[in-house]
Structure 1
């Protein structure tokens, strides 16, 4: 998908995939707990890994901020809550779909 970008709105607990200025997908997400808040700012996707193991679910999309990413979960009931260690957590089918739509270098903005 050319000219795409991701916006994560922490207050809405939603991830938006945009193509240009048009929203093409919206996904519910879990965000960082109060003691381990998700970082805000502008990042890029620096790596993609299917089946990363552990609690990261079906896919890992690593961000340019080390140790942070957008990933699946083995605890789907956590989606919509403030429960992660700062990462953006998605349903496994959603993160797998997203991984197929974005490439390394895709801009990611995480806003409060």
Structure 2
């Protein structure tokens, strides 16, 4: 099975899931606001947590950059906006699907 990877486009507010070179799914996201932008670079999924609670929604996938992650939200109307403190927010049903598909170590590229 080809390895999974994630590419995040902050300007388009989209997260793309790949298996090898094949696009599997595209998800709408929220990204960091101007004062606390989502950092661009190459990272990986370092941790996974079920039901982190509160503003993190139903799932948390921590990045190799400490204090940043891909997570659900308790504010679904924020998806599509630049509103977070730098994390990548997803609808809870989307982050639950992504959570099942990726493993710790999955590469994550964040670009504009």
How would you bin the TM-score normalised by the shorter chain? over 0.9
| CA distance in 1: counterparts of 2:8 and 2:75, whole angstroms | 20
What does residue 82 of structure 1 align with?
82
Q: CA deviation at 1:86?
A: 0.1
What does residue 104 of structure 1 align with?
104
Q: CA deviation at 1:53?
A: 1.3
Pairs aligned (count): 112
| CA distance in 2: counterparts of 1:103 and 1:76, whole angstroms | 25
Alignment of 1:25-40 (within 5 A): 25-40=25-40
Residue deviations 1:77-97, cap 9 Å, x none? 000000000000000000000
Q: Quote the RMSD (CA, aligned, Å).
A: 0.8
Alignment of 1:57-68 (within 5 A): 57-68=57-68
Q: Which runs of 5+ in 2 are unaligned?
A: none
| CA distance in 1: counterparts of 2:73 and 2:4, whole angstroms | 24
Output the TM-score relative to the length of structure 1. 0.98
Q: Which runs of 5+ in 1 are unaligned?
A: none
What does residue 92 of structure 2 align with?
92
| CA distance in 2: counterparts of 1:55 and 1:4, whole angstroms | 27
Q: CA deviation at 1:54?
A: 1.9
- Are positions 1:73 and 2:73 aligned together? yes
